[in-house]
Amino acid sequence: MSQVIGIDLGTTYSCVAYLQGEEALIIPNLEGNNTTPSVVSFTSSGEQLIGTPALRQAPTNPDKTVYAVKRLMGKKFNSAEIQELQNKLSYKLDKAPNGDVIIDLGGSYITPQEISSLILRYLRKCAEDYLGEKVKDVVITVPAHFNDHQRQATKDAAKIAGLNTLRVINEPTAASLAYGLGSKRNGKVVVYDMGGGTFDVTILEISDGIFHVLATIGDTFLGGEDFDNRLISWILDEFKKKEGIDLSEDKFALQRIKEAAEKAKRELSYTLETQINLPFIVSKDSESKHLQVSLTRSLLENLTKDLVDKTIPYMTQALDESKLGLEEIEEVILVGGQTKMPLIKETVTKFFGHEPSRSINPDEAVAMGAAIQSGVLSGEIHDIVLLLDVTPISLGIEAENDQFVKIIEKNTTIPTKKTMSFTTVEDNQRRVKIHVMQGENPRASENVSLARFDLVGIEQAPAGVPQIDVTFEIDADGLVRVSAKDVATNREQSIEIRPSAGLSTFELNKIMKRTEDQAEVEKDEETGLL
C-alpha cells in the first residue's frame, strides 16, 4: 500500500506529515522548512510560484499574489464576510456566474479551489520527493466550523491536485489525536485552535483510545489575518499623521507593510518591543519617504484585545454544550500559529484556571493528527480505537412561513442518520419542494442553503394526510445526503448534497483536465522534451 499523507491546509501556512510506524513525522518542503506559506503568485512570464518564492515577490506583484484563500472557499461573493474582506486584500475578487467568489488576476479568473489545489499539489510534490514514491491518498483537515459548502470545496481542491481524500477531519480533532497518541492520557481536553483565518474551540473526552468530541463551536472569520489587519491600519494611521500621506490605496506599499506587520506580530510573541523600518515606501515632491515605527507588545495587545476577548463566549458556550464544568477540564491544548501570542495564552489560562499544555507544536499538530488518522483508517495504529466527531452546525429543511426545522442538531456524533415526518399544506398536492439548509437561526432565510429538490407523484389526499419522511444522513467527513419519501406510494427522491455554491461536476472535470495537461507540459519540460 502506498504512503498516505496528512495535510493541514492553512490560511497562512500549510503543513504535511506522514506516518512512520506509529509516529507522525513532518515532511519538510523543498526549501527545508516544516511549514509552507499558503501563497500563490502568478508572474508576468506565466510562471506559478508557490509558498516562500511567492511570498518573497509579493511586494512587487501584489495584484497577482493570492493569500488567505481559505477564507474564500465555499463562499458567496455577496456574503457580508467577503464584502468586508475584499477591501483588505491586494488582489481583486469578483462574482462568479453561480454567485460564488472568484479571483480576478487582471482579466483572467481563477477559483479559490484552484488556488488551494496548487498549494496541495506543491505539498504533494514535497511528500513525493521526500518519500521517494508517488503519493495519491490524503487525510485533509478543515476548521471544525466549516459548513458543507466549505468542506466540499476543500475536497474539490484535493481532487484537482490529483489527491484522493480518504477522510476530511476537523482540525481540533486532528490536534487532539496528535496530543493523545503522544501522551497516552485519558481525560477531558479542550482544543483552542486559532490559525491565520479561523477559530474553533472543541471539547473532547479521551478514554482508552476512544476520542469522543463532546462539543465544537467557532468562527470561520476570526484569526491571525484579523490581527495583522489591525496592525496594518495602525501603521497606515501613524504614517499619515507624520507625513500627511495616505498609503491605503498604494498596493505596492500595502504589501510591504503587510509583510512587515506579520513579522512584527510574530516577534512580539517573544520580545517586548520591535521596530518596523521600510525605506523608500513612497515618493512625494521628488523626495523619498521612509516608514519607521516602534511597536510594543502592549500596544499590539491594546489594538487586538477585543479579538481575543471575542473567543471567550465561544469557550463558555462549548462548556455549556458539553455539559461540563471548568473543574472537569484536565488539559487545554493551543493549536494554530496565532496562539503563540502571549495575550491568548494569558486569556485561556485565566478562563480555565491552568496553563495550556506545551507538549505539541501548535504549527504542526494538525498535520500530525491527520497523518495519525490515516494510520487509524489503515489499521496501522492500534492505540486509537475510535474517533467520534460531531457535526458542528445544525441541518434541516425550510418549512412554511420561513421556518427552519432542525432535523439533525449541532454537536450530534457522526456518522449519523435521522428521519422526521412532514405532510402537505394543500389538498391533492402532488409535489413538495425540499429545501435543505444548515444553520442555527429559527428563520430559514437567515441560514445557509445547501440544496433543493422536488418529491413528485405524491398520492392525492386532503392537506395534512400524506406522510412524507425526510431522512438526513451525515458521513464521517461531515458531508450530507438527504432523501424524501411518500409513505403511501413509496415514491422516493434523494440527493447527495452537491452545494449550490461551488464547482459543478462539469466545471470540476474541466479544471482537472486543464491541470493534467499543464502537469504533462511541466513533466516534458523537466525531461527536456520541449
Q: What is the pLDDT of residues 265-323, one digit of tens each?
A: 999 999 999 999 999 999 888 889 999 999 999 999 999 999 999 999 999 999 999 99
Sheet strand arrangement including 101-104: 92-95, 101-104, 109-110
Q: How far is CA 508 from CA 73, 160, 214, 306, 516, in A?
A: 15, 7, 35, 40, 12
Q: Are strands 386-391 and 287-296 parallel, antiparallel or unpaired?
A: unpaired
Helix (H) or strand (E) holding 121: helix 112-131
Q: 162-193: buried (b, 16+ CB within 10 Å) or exposed (e) per residue?
A: bbebbbbbbbbbbbbbbbbbeeeeeebbbbbb
Could you say which of 1.10.10.10, 3.90.1150.10, 3.90.640.10, 3.40.630.10 is the CATH number of the domain covering 224-305? 3.90.640.10
Q: Looking at residue 209, what DSSP letter applies?
A: T
Q: Any idea where the domains of the chain sit in the sequence?
A: 5-184+361-382, 224-305, 393-496
* Residue 356 to residue 162: CA distance in whole angstroms: 38
Q: Which residues contact 345 (CB under 8 A, 6 or more apart)?
A: 334, 339, 355, 356
What class does CATH assign to 393-496?
A: mainly beta
Q: How far is CA 336 from CA 192, 405, 504, in A?
A: 9, 35, 32
* Residue 286 to residue 261: CA distance in whole angstroms: 27
Q: Strands, E, within 53-198: which ranges?
A: 65-67, 92-95, 101-104, 109-110, 137-142, 164-170, 187-194
Q: What is the pLDDT of residue 21?
A: 86
Q: What is the pLDDT of residue 149?
A: 87
Under a CB-based contact definition with an 8 Å cutoff, are residues 89 and 101 in contact? Answer: no
Under a CB-based contact definition with an 8 Å cutoff, are residues 448 and 407 in contact? Answer: no
Q: What is the pLDDT of residue 502?
A: 61
Closest to 161 (Cα-Cα) out of 16, 26, 18: 16
The terminus-to-terminus CA distance of the chain in angstroms comes to: 34
Closest to 52 (Cα-Cα) out of 133, 127, 126: 126
Q: Which residues contact 307 (CB under 8 A, 6 or more apart)?
A: 222, 226, 227, 230
- Amino acid (1-letter code) at residue 64: K
What CATH code is assigned to 5-184+361-382?
3.30.420.40
**372: number of Cβ within 10 Å:** 30
Q: Which residues are catalytic?
A: 8, 70, 171, 193
Closest to 127 (Cα-Cα) out of 3, 1, 272: 3
Q: How far is CA 192 from the centre of its chain?
A: 15
Q: What is the pLDDT of residue 491?
A: 86
Q: Looking at residue 281, what DSSP letter applies?
A: E
Q: How far is CA 8 from CA 124, 141, 309, 336, 446, in A?
A: 12, 5, 26, 10, 31
Q: How far is CA 441 from CA 100, 433, 522, in A?
A: 22, 20, 49
Q: What is the pLDDT of residue 521?
A: 57
Q: What is the pLDDT of residue 519?
A: 62
Q: What is the pLDDT of residue 22?
A: 83
Low-confidence ranges of the chain (pLDDT < 50): 499-501, 527, 529-530
Under a CB-based contact definition with an 8 Å cutoff, are residues 388 and 213 in contact? Answer: yes
Q: What is the pLDDT of residue 388?
A: 87
Q: What is the pLDDT of residue 529?
A: 45
Q: What is the pLDDT of residue 127?
A: 97
Sheet strand arrangement including 412-414: 331-335, 187-194, 199-207, 210-219, 386-391, 412-414
* Residue 382 to residue 375: CA distance in whole angstroms: 9
* Residue 156 to residue 362: CA distance in whole angstroms: 27
Q: What is the pLDDT of residue 520?
A: 63
SS3 label, residue 248:
coil
SS3 label, residue 436:
strand
